[in-house]
Amino acid sequence: MNAFDMRHHPTDFGSIRIDPLHAFAVVTIGSGIAYLSHLIKKNLTCQKFFSFQDASPQTFVPHWGSKKKPQRPDIEACPVAMAPTKSRAFEFSTDMKACGPNHLILMDTNNLRRLSERRILLIASPQAMYNSLPIAGTAVRELYNFFFQFYLPEKISQGFVKSPSGTYLKNRCTENTFPVVASSPPTALRHLGENIDEDFIILLPDSQAPGAWKVGAYVVCFANGVNMQEKLGHPLGGAQTQDLEQRTGKSFDTFLADLPAGVEHAVEFRSWDIVDNNALYRIDNNKVFGDVPLSDDAAAAVEDVCLREERRVVWKLPGTGAVAMSIKTSITPITAVKDEGKAESLRLALSARAHSGELARRVLEFLKA
């Protein structure tokens, strides 16, 4: 019998006769079924905890301090929402208020899609998306370890789970695994950007200017007219500091110096603008109502205009004394605002702001109609 005949000849094991080709086919089909089962399980796991649809975001609020495994709450009962959905009154309040640990970060139904966008930006333009000063390394590690060792697995256990050894954290939606202890500041910043749909800025006391604070590190994927590469090592400045100064009556530096350490003392405030497209990353094309006129292009479609909201949370890290600022961005087409019956509220708020340009006029007419 030659070699070819041996491959096709059934093997006799006592009373059991096995055809090698049949055995190979059974193993191959079994492996395929097992892999398909894994993919289905992965998809159902994501859908179980978050509804990944491109609809108006619905806020997921983790339970704080409960010994029971938290369940996904009723969306209508969620007290905080980033976009004008039917589950809350549409308000344009920009007042500062205390932010409990339970609402430190927000997760919504667009989480998986937004994390995918972040990952693309982090890979394509790493220096523009995240960077740090050497002196900020300890603060970056403190922020990372806080989220990956404690906050994410304990307070958002639906989406994150530790390995049996406790040394790794698995994102249950992306199926990616990350160490719970930061290996290096650049890696820590990138992992923060990949797993949390919020931008982070770390501010440090400026040794060259007593009493002042400077940007020590950042992971900012959805910048709004601010080039963070140029801000590294310099004061943050711009609209973000002006908002704080207007609401507190203090200078930005004084506010940060007076802020008590600890996440329990975190404060949040919001800002909003009308922008001429739905781009989340806005550096060169940042045309908004206010000091910068909206595009004067008469051919621009009013239907492309969006409401951009930014929720900022500021707290002081207890270990290093550095200040962390997180920024959650939401984009809602004004057509959706109008469909929900909130056009008049938005029109009145816009009318109180300085604006100019043909498109700006047509936006107000669209909201009034």
Per-residue model confidence as pLDDT tens digits over 213-262: 999 999 999 988 788 999 999 998 876 677 777 777 778 899 999 999 99
Residue 37 lies inside a defined structural domain of this protein: no
SS3 assignment, position 17: strand
CA atoms within 13 A of residue 123's CA, in its CB half-sphere: 7
Q: Please give the pLDDT value at position 77.
A: 27
CA dihedral 326, 116, 89, 286 (to 10 degrees): 70
Q: How many domains are there within the chain?
A: 1
Is the alpha carbon torsion for 44, 47, 48, 49 positive or negative? positive
Which domain covers residue 360, as residue numbers?
A: 69-112+197-368
Amino acid type, 253: D
211 in Cβ contact with 257 (< 8 Å): yes
222 in Cβ contact with 128 (< 8 Å): no
Residue 12 lies inside a defined structural domain of this protein: no
Q: Please give the pLDDT value at position 190.
A: 97
Please identify every stretch of the chain with a pLDDT value under 50, giving residue numbers as ranges.
1-16, 39-91, 286, 288-293
Q: What is the pTM of this model?
A: 0.73
Q: Please give the pLDDT value at position 21.
A: 59
346 in Cβ contact with 326 (< 8 Å): no
Per-residue model confidence as pLDDT tens digits over 139-168: 999 999 999 999 999 999 889 999 999 999
Question: How far from 338 is each of 58, 272, 300, 361, 363, CA to CA, in Å?
Answer: 18, 17, 19, 16, 11
168 in Cβ contact with 177 (< 8 Å): yes
In whole angstroms, give the CA distance from residue 334 to residue 336. Answer: 5
Residue 186 lies inside a defined structural domain of this protein: no
In whole angstroms, give the CA distance from residue 19 to residue 11. Answer: 6
Residue 258 lies inside a defined structural domain of this protein: yes
Amino acid type, 219: V
Q: Please give the pLDDT value at position 322.
A: 97
Give all strands (DSSP E) within 58-176, no chain letters.
Answer: 97-98, 130-132, 160-162, 168-171
Residue 244 lies inside a defined structural domain of this protein: yes
Q: What single string gives the DSSP state of each residue in 186-221? A: HHHHHHHHHH-SSEEEEEEE-TTSTT-EEEEEEE-S
Residue 91 lies inside a defined structural domain of this protein: yes
Residue 228 lies inside a defined structural domain of this protein: yes
Q: Please give the pLDDT value at position 106.
A: 86
Residue 53 lies inside a defined structural domain of this protein: no
